[in-house]
Structure 1
Amino acid sequence: MQIDGNVIVCDSIDERGIGILKNAGLLVEYLPEISNQELITKVKDYDVIIVRSRTKITKEIIDNATNAKIIARVGVGLDNIDTVEAQKKNVEVINAGEASVNAVSELVLGLMFSLSRNIPIANNATKQGKWIKKDLIGIELKGKYLGIIGLGKIGRNVARLARGLRMNLIGYDVVPIDKSFAQEVSLITTDLKTLIESSDYITCHVPSTEQTKHLINKEMLSIMKKGSFLINTSRGEVIDEQALIDGLKNKKIGGAALDVYEIEPPTNKELLVLDNLICTPHIGAQTKEGQELASSVIAEKIIQKLLERQAESNQT
């Protein structure tokens, strides 16, 4: 069935999703570099707005999106979309969170390996002609305790992968953790404080909310095991960066790896120069497979939602 409607794509997405939308009969305008100011003036012409993380869908944009039916995020989370205002205007907000589960999970493991075996330091030194083999005594993941904060799709997948490496798992979430899953991976469920005190590695998988802002703060960092590692691929606001700087400088913790930051791109030079910190530029979902899947998933969801609205309209 062909669908009528105009779609604007405001960020770079894989071409597969665009092809699916066009094949369904939708008119797609691809403007991956459009500014928010330009979008404000153009947005009235579209039924569907597609974004990733670059574009911020503000109240002003939604107010001007008089024909909008759907705002779609090609990724996890909705923190760059004013969902409250969208709901007021009867604009449905959807995402493709399931598409990046494996990509983000594998990055977490990559960061854990990099921290444990000093891979960035070894790489840089060797390329500079320095043979520092005797200084690079690493740590094995086998048998270590991995604390997972947030047991959603990504947190659960990280647990399964880590279990394959014969790590011990500790989990915390604000919602009840599925008992059958906990049994499957031998997950110890506990409170946040106990998780932080007990873990050799801690990985964060929670959304950005008022409750999770600076969830990892000075107090929590102070009770981490000496020499333990912290990984964050969720949202930058989850960790108090100034408190993290202090913890890394005084060697209270062994190291940290961040894929997300309180301000992106990060501007805190005091943070970026630390040699016991690994930084990546928000690449959690940046795999060929992940981007293809996210683009396809969101396109199919958009088509389904528009068909549902079309059917409702025909009945009335």
Structure 2
Amino acid sequence: MPSVLVLDPLSDEGLALLEAAEGVTYEVRTGLSGDALKKSLNEFDGAICRSGVKITPESLEGNTRLKAIVRAGVGTDNIDKKAATRAGIVVMNTPAGNTVSTAEQTIALLLAMSRNVAPAYQSLIEGRWDRKKFMGTQVSGKTLGIVGLGRIGMAVATRAKALEMNLIGYDPFMSAEHADKFGIELVENVADMLPRLDYLTVHTPLTDETRGLIGPEQVAALKPGARLVNCARGGIYDEAALVEGLKSGKLGGVALDVFPEEPCTENPLFGMDGVVCTPHLGASTEEAQNQVAVEAVELLTAYLMTGAIRCAVNVAALDPKTLAALKGYIDVAHRLGRLCEGLLPSGIESCRLTYRGELADKETKILASAFAAGLLERAMGEEVNLINAESLLTERGIQLVTESCSTQGAFRASMSVEVAGGGKSHTLIGTLLGQDMPRLVSIDGYRLEAFLDGTMLVFTHKDVPGIIGAIGIALGEGGVNIAQMAVGRDKPGGDAIGVLNVDGDISDSALSAVRAHKAISSATVVQLPAAGTLPHWLG
């Protein structure tokens, strides 16, 4: 009989569902850490937690019993997923449970900031009646910019539309056509929306790309009097830039529910005019807590009783025979997805995958999922793997079409991918040499053979003498060593494309030097996994 360990306080609804689960027993043990946590985890088949407990590699060391951990919530930072994977433990989360509550918190802060709700109430507490002092602004007719159009971003858009706001959005993985269905004008980058906004809200993960997304330069580009909201992750806004923006009068207001370091009880923004802040209350509603608890119980009991896996963040449900037969091509598909994301980083509308030769008769759905995971993983706020990748594509209105052709072509098996969006497209063909050597054998119709790993420089140029030498000098002066080179052309002296694999990173100055060559029309740096490195859900 499967047993479940509840590690953090769970709502009554969640516990009642566990109580009613036929053939499942459970215990509640909260506040565990160290050896007590390690011992308890090895006594149960599944565990449910929230953010209170920290499941570390030490917690799972030597564990031979635990099969799954479910986080009642979205974030799984408190669970060491690599250690769980090594121990054969599935980690799942409940990504939809907090959506509505967080979206409502965003709208609540937006309105409270606009109508000076907090300081006006404080004035009454202090015995003052200052109606003139707290003149506000209505949101109807104003323009709201939304960065990140996932579940929460779209929920905010729906509610803002009901308030008769105009919507501008940015999401590199949503098509303009799909956004238009929701009344959102999609832009190619964040900078394009800033001068047009009255309000800005962000709903993205905190990554190297989004940290400090709004800093001094971006604040300067905003319309005077713009107001900013953040219910996503602390650090996306540069708080020092917000302080200066408020002092100068450039910003009309700031509303924050999240901070770089939490708990946060001291902050230069606290007490400033036009600021309203709350202590990370986005998911703090009875409904949200009930929903994530119920979802967590349903996910865990379904897995323990039937083996069904949903919302997994670290592994995929793979048949061992299928994995053994397709592992190399799963790696190829994943790397092609990463390469497509680097070559066409925003506005992707459609993807077409074609399997040729021996691949045509295989279980190719897993290859489509691997490609989608590679395409999305650098931009998503939640873990992307073989289970959720295709659904995440669909949510962003990206069409994914697959087809098979038994004709071998130049290789016994190959996979071609075509991505299109914003009037641009790229077509790539990949194959596998031996058992574990992914290769790019065609790009936009140019035949070549390039390694699909590490730092890649992809450049288009005229087939004239001196190109390779000039690039070698530019990279050499930047301290970059060329590891491998491949060139494809249509005819001598015509158009050509080159792919260089290099050691280390290519600096902006080195890339600028390459692009400055008169015969080079474009140059793009793409970062792929190192040779032999598999995604954690495959390794």
- Per the TM superposition, whether the score is higher than 0.5 is yes
* Whole-angstrom CA distance in 2 between matches of 1:26 and 1:261: 40
8 Å CA contact retained: 1:146, 1:167:
yes
Q: SS of the counterpart of 1:193?
A: helix
Measured against aligned partners, the alpha-carbon deviations of 1:46-99 in whole angstroms (never above 9, x if no partner) come to 322222223333333233544222221111232333223323332212111212
What is the Cα deviation at residue 294 of structure 1?
A: 1.4
8 Å CA contact retained: 1:86, 1:93:
yes
Q: SS of the counterpart of 1:285?
A: coil
Q: SS of the counterpart of 2:185?
A: strand
Q: Which residue number corresponds to residue 204 of structure 1? A: 202
What is the Cα deviation at residue 23 of structure 1?
A: 2.1
Query: Which of 106, 109, 112 is the aligned partner of 1:108?
Result: 106
* Whole-angstrom CA distance in 1 between matches of 2:253 and 2:34: 37
8 Å CA contact retained: 1:202, 1:229:
yes
Q: Which residue number corresponds to residue 252 of structure 1? A: 250
* Whole-angstrom CA distance in 1 between matches of 2:48 and 2:129: 49
Q: Which residue number corresponds to residue 220 of structure 2? A: 222
Q: Which residue number corresponds to residue 8 of structure 2? A: 11
Of Structure 1 and Structure 2, which has the larger fraction of its residues in helix? 1
What is the Cα deviation at residue 122 of structure 1?
A: 0.4
Could you tell me which runs of 5 or more consecutive residues in structure 1 were left unpaired when the two chains were aligned: none
What is the Cα deviation at residue 168 of structure 1?
A: 0.4
* Whole-angstrom CA distance in 2 between matches of 1:243 and 1:200: 17
* Whole-angstrom CA distance in 1 between matches of 2:39 and 2:259: 30
- Are residues 183 and 53 of structure 1, via their aligned partners in 2, closer, same or farther at CA, if it must alter by over 3 Å? same
8 Å CA contact retained: 1:46, 1:65:
no
* Whole-angstrom CA distance in 1 between matches of 2:159 and 2:113: 17
Query: Which of 121, 131, 134 is the aligned partner of 2:132?
Result: 134
Q: Which residue number corresponds to residue 303 of structure 1? A: 301
Higher relative contact order (CA 8 A, sep 6+): 1
* Whole-angstrom CA distance in 2 between matches of 1:36 and 1:137: 54
* Whole-angstrom CA distance in 2 between matches of 1:138 and 1:85: 51
* Whole-angstrom CA distance in 1 between matches of 2:161 and 2:308: 46
* Whole-angstrom CA distance in 1 between matches of 2:256 and 2:197: 18
* Whole-angstrom CA distance in 2 between matches of 1:218 and 1:100: 31
Equivalent pairs: percent with the same residue? 36
* Whole-angstrom CA distance in 2 between matches of 1:249 and 1:61: 48
- Are residues 258 and 56 of structure 1, via their aligned partners in 2, closer, same or farther at CA, if it must alter by over 3 Å? farther
Could you tell me which runs of 5 or more consecutive residues in structure 2 were left unpaired when the two chains were aligned: 310-316, 318-539
- Are residues 136 and 83 of structure 1, via their aligned partners in 2, closer, same or farther at CA, if it must alter by over 3 Å? same
Match for 1:48: what amino acid? G
Q: Which residue number corresponds to residue 23 of structure 1? A: 20
* Whole-angstrom CA distance in 1 between matches of 2:219 and 2:38: 42
* Whole-angstrom CA distance in 2 between matches of 1:232 and 1:37: 38
- Are residues 306 and 210 of structure 1, via their aligned partners in 2, closer, same or farther at CA, if it must alter by over 3 Å? farther
- Are residues 57 and 240 of structure 1, via their aligned partners in 2, closer, same or farther at CA, if it must alter by over 3 Å? farther
* Whole-angstrom CA distance in 2 between matches of 1:206 and 1:137: 32
Q: SS of the counterpart of 2:105?
A: helix
Query: Which of 160, 163, 168 is the aligned partner of 1:162?
Result: 160
The residue correspondences of 1:48-67 to structure 2 (distance < 5 A) are: 48-63=46-61, 65-67=63-65
Match for 1:104: what amino acid? T
* Whole-angstrom CA distance in 2 between matches of 1:48 and 1:214: 38
What is the Cα deviation at residue 141 of structure 1?
A: 0.6
Measured against aligned partners, the alpha-carbon deviations of 1:163-203 in whole angstroms (never above 9, x if no partner) come to 111100011113224733x2222211111112233211111
8 Å CA contact retained: 2:113, 2:253:
yes
8 Å CA contact retained: 1:18, 1:28:
no
Query: Which of 141, 153, 174 is the aligned partner of 2:151?
Result: 153
Match for 1:7: what amino acid? V
8 Å CA contact retained: 2:176, 2:186:
no
Q: SS of the counterpart of 2:222?
A: coil
* Whole-angstrom CA distance in 1 between matches of 2:87 and 2:207: 22
Structure of greater Rg: 2
* Whole-angstrom CA distance in 1 between matches of 2:291 and 2:157: 22
8 Å CA contact retained: 2:226, 2:253:
yes
Aligned length, in residue pairs: 308
What is the Cα deviation at residue 270 of structure 1?
A: 2.2
* Whole-angstrom CA distance in 1 between matches of 2:272 and 2:115: 17
Match for 2:18: what amino acid? L
Q: Which residue number corresponds to residue 180 of structure 2? A: 183
Q: Which residue number corresponds to residue 289 of structure 1? A: 287
Q: SS of the counterpart of 1:21?
A: helix
- Are residues 47 and 113 of structure 1, via their aligned partners in 2, closer, same or farther at CA, if it must alter by over 3 Å? same
Query: Which of 274, 277, 280 is the aligned partner of 1:279?
Result: 277
Q: Which residue number corresponds to residue 93 of structure 1? A: 91
- Are residues 188 and 94 of structure 1, via their aligned partners in 2, closer, same or farther at CA, if it must alter by over 3 Å? same
What is the Cα deviation at residue 276 of structure 1?
A: 2.6
8 Å CA contact retained: 1:45, 1:65:
no
Match for 1:112: what amino acid? L
Moved more, 150-159 or 261-270: 261-270
Of Structure 1 and Structure 2, which has the larger fraction of its residues in strand? 2
What is the Cα deviation at residue 271 of structure 1?
A: 3.2
8 Å CA contact retained: 1:36, 1:56:
no
TM-score (structure 2 length as normaliser): 0.54
Match for 1:220: what amino acid? Q
TM-score (structure 1 length as normaliser): 0.88
- RMSD of Structure 2 on Structure 1 (CA): 2.3
